[in-house]
Amino acid sequence: MILRPMRWPDIEAVHAIETSVFEVDPWSAEQFWGELAQPTREYVVAEDAGTIIGYAGAYLLPPDSDVQTIAVAPAARGRGVGRILLEELIAIAVRHDCAQLLLEVRSDNESAIGMYERFGFESISKRRDYYASGVDALIMRLRPLSTASERGGS
């Protein structure tokens, strides 16, 4: 598996993952085009044997950064792809001299919350009924930032 910057031709494959992972409210292909056009955004894809199996993106405006999205194709789950993508987003934020990384996650997404907590993210707030009635968004923060090697190779 390799990580590389997301490029315009990747949008079709990324959007296919997006619609399979986020069934309720997926981003449109146009939204990905808009994200890639922004100078304050960086997106990466995880590729295995030439096939995109995951992607992640961050908003970077030092001293703050924000996880815009992170997703792994259902067939590629359980292989550590999400962890690798998150490590890369943290490294990107560190390279941009950001002091913290924020994210929103569905309150019922226990596996994602567990991964974020293992990285040291803490829940700092909640947006009630953000995703649907009864499904809140947890706002989580990682501060201070350090690379995976500085954290002992998480």
Instruction: State if pTM tops 0.75.
Output: yes
* pLDDT confidence of residue 132: 75
Give the lowest-confidence range in 3-17, 110-124, 134-148. Answer: 134-148
What pLDDT does 152 receive?
46
Q: In what order do the strands lie in the sheet with 135-142?
A: 2-5, 41-48, 51-61, 64-72, 100-106, 135-142, 122-132
Find the range with the poorest average confidence among 6-10, 51-55, 112-116: 112-116
**Averaged pLDDT, 82-109:** 94
Mean pLDDT, rounded, for 15-30: 92
Task: Give the integer Cα–Cα distance in Å for 128 and 113.
Answer: 17
Segment 96-133, tens digit of pLDDT: 999 999 999 989 889 899 999 999 999 999 999 887 77
pLDDT at 133: 79
In which band, very low, low, confident or very high, does the pLDDT at 24 lie, cut at 50, 70 and 90?
Answer: confident
Q: What is the pLDDT of residue 134?
A: 81
Greater confidence, 154 or 35? 35
Residues above pLDDT 70, as percent of the chain: 95
Round to whole Å and give the CA distance between 57 and 67: 6
- In terms of Cβ atoms closer than 10 Å to its own Cβ (0-12, 13-18, 19+), residue 105 is buried
Using CA atoms, how far apart are residues 54 and 46, in angstroms rounded to an integer? Answer: 5
